[in-house]
Amino acid sequence: MKETKYIFVTGGVTSSLGKGIIAASIGKLLQARGFAVTNQKLDPYINVDPGTLNPYEHGECYVTVDGHEADLDLGHYERFLNVETHRENNVTTGRIYQTVINKERRGDYLGKTVQIIPHITDEIKRNIKALGSKGQLDFVITEIGGTVGDIESLPYIESVRQLRWELGKNCLIVHLTYVPYLAAAKELKTKPTQHSVKSLQEQGVQADVLVLRTEHTISQEMRRKVALFCNVEPNAVMQSIDVPTIYRVPLNMQLEKLDEVVLTKMGFELSAVPSANMVNWTAFVEKLENAKEEVKIALVGKYVQLPDAYKSIIESLIHASAYNHRKLKLDLILSDKVDDENVAKKLKNVDGVIVAPGFGQRGMDGKFAALKYARENNIPCLGICMGMQTMSIEFARNVLGYEDANSTEIDEKTVHNVVDIMDEQKNVLNLGGSMRLGAYKCKIKKGTKACRIYGKEHISERHRHRFEFNNEYLDEFEKNGMICSGINLESDLVEIIELESHKWYIGVQFHPEYSSTVVEPHPLFISFIKAAIEDK
C-alpha cells in the first residue's frame, strides 16, 4: 500500500494568478516521472457546488464523470493529467458546513458544542485525506481557492497548518505570489510577496516553495532577497513568467526544477527517480506554438463577455487546431446581438461555427439565425447541449415547416415542442427539476459520420441538461435528412444528430469538451477543425 504525500498550493497578493495551472503543472511533472497523481480543489464559497452559479460569477461549471458539478480548475487538471476527476476532487465550504450540520442534527457529536476547530477543520482534513486513503496515489495536490488573508480561506489554511504537523515530511506547501513591475521606476517589487508570506506565517503556515508570478525575468539576486526575507531556501524560489499558452507552463517549471525541489524536500533521492518524460507534451506545445496558418471559428453563445464561461470548449478547440497544424482564431459572438439581418456579416469568412450550451431563453433567436446560416451555406457547425436542441428547433421551423416549433422551456403552450422536458422519474433530481448529469453510454449507428469520427459504436460522454429531443418528431426528422445517429439505449434518448447533405453539421446532447485533453484531444473537435480547414 502506497504512502500518499500531500502538496498544498496557496496563493497571495491577488487572485487569478494561475494557482490551478501551477497545481496541474506540478501534477504533470510528477506524473511524467512515473508517480500516480491527482489534483484537488478547495473552494471557499458557501455554495454547495457551482451548479447554481451564473457563468459570469465563476466561469463554466465543469462536470465529472460521476455527475458532480465542479470548479473549472478540474478541467485544467484533467486536460493536463489525462486522468478523470470525481466528486472528491472538488470541495466547497458549503459542502463542508452542510456535512457538519447534518452530523450535528443526527447527534454524531454527542451533544458537544460544534465549532470551527475541531469540527469544521476535521471535516476539511477528512476530505483532503480521503483521496489518498485507498493507497493508490503517490501524491495528492490540493489547490486552496482564494487569496491568503481572505476570511473565507481561514479554515482551510488552519487545516493545512494541522496537517503539516500530522503528516510531517509527507506534507509540502507551495505558495504562489505576484511580483509587480512598476513602469515608472522600471523595477520589480518583492514587498507584496513578503507581506503575503508574512500573512501565511501569521496563520501558522510556512511555505516550502515560492513560485513568483511575473511579467519580467526575476534575477538570482532578487530571488536570494526573497528567500532571505521569507525563510525559504534560495533554490526553492522560482519564477512563473507570462507565456503565450498555459501549456508552456509545465515545461517552464521543469526548467525551474520545481519537480526536483518538491521531490527532494519530500525525502526522495533524485537518483532513484526517473527523469520527467515530457516528449509528447513538448511535441504538442511545439505544434501549438509553431502553427502558421489560421482556422477561424465563431463561437456563438450568451456568456461570451467572459471567455471562462466556455473554458473547456475553447481549450478543446486549441487542442484540435494544434493537432491539425493550425492556429486558432476564435471569434466570440454574443447570441443576443445576432439576428437574420446581420448574421451574414457576423459570420462572414468564418471556417466553422460552434453554438454553445446555456440554460434559458435569452439569446436563443441569435442561435437560430447562426444555425440557419451555417446550414444553408454549408459551413461546418457543431452544436453542443443547448446547441443541439436549438439545431433541432431551427430544422423543425425552417425545413419541416413547423413555424411554432420550440421547447417547453421557452413556451409550454407551444404545439410543437421539439425539445421537451425529460421524464423526472428516469433522471437525477437537481434544483427542484430533473437533470441528466455525468457520463452516460451512447450507441452510434453504423455508417454515420459520427461513427466514422469516433471509430466505434459504443461511447460514453458527460451530460449537464434538463431537456431532451422529443422522439415524437424523430421519424419526420430522419425522412428529411436529419439523422439521429447516437442513441442512449437505456432510455431511448437522442444523443447525436447530423445532417446528411451537409459538409459537417452535427449536434450532440452531451459535452464532448469535458473529455478533451492534451494527450487525447476529442475526436469530434479534431474532425470539426479538419472539416473547417478542408479546401482552404
Whether residue 216 lies in the annotated active site: no
Going by C-alpha positions, the residue among 21, 19, 23 that lies closest to residue 38 is 23
Residue 175 DSSP class = E
Separation in Å, CA 105 to CA 98, 99, 100? 11, 10, 9
Q: In angstroms, how far is CA 225 from the centroid of its own chain? A: 36
357 in Cβ contact with 386 (< 8 Å): yes
Amino acid at 170: N
Q: Please identify which of the residues 58, 76, 511, 522 carries the catalytic annotation.
A: 511
503 in Cβ contact with 380 (< 8 Å): yes
Q: What are phi and psi of 305, to 5 degrees?
A: -65, -20
Going by C-alpha positions, the residue among 244, 316, 249, 267 that lies closest to residue 29 is 249
Whether residue 500 lies in the annotated active site: no
Query: Are β-strands 406-407 and 417-421 bridged in parallel, bridged antiparallel, or unpaired?
Result: parallel
Q: Please identify which of the residues 385, 442, 451, 484 carries the catalytic annotation.
A: 385
CA distance 470 to 331: 32
Separation in Å, CA 108 to CA 104, 233, 527? 6, 45, 54
Bridge partners, residue 241, by sequence:
214
Whether residue 293 lies in the annotated active site: no
CA distance 37 to 470: 42
Q: Who's near 201: CB < 8 A, 6+ residues apart?
A: 231
CA distance 294 to 327: 5
Show the 3-state SS of 2-28: CCCEEEEEEECCCCCCCHHHHHHHHHH
Query: Are β-strands 433-444 and 482-488 bridged in parallel, bridged antiparallel, or unpaired?
Result: antiparallel
Query: All 3 cell numbers of residue 325?
Result: 497544424
Residue 85 DSSP class = -
Please compute, for residue 176, the number of CA atoms within 13 A of its CA located in the half-sphere on the CB side. Answer: 28
- Lookup result for grid cell 458527460: 462
Q: Please identify which of the residues 256, 315, 495, 513 carries the catalytic annotation.
A: 513
CB atoms within 10 A of CB 450: 24
Active site residues: 385, 511, 513
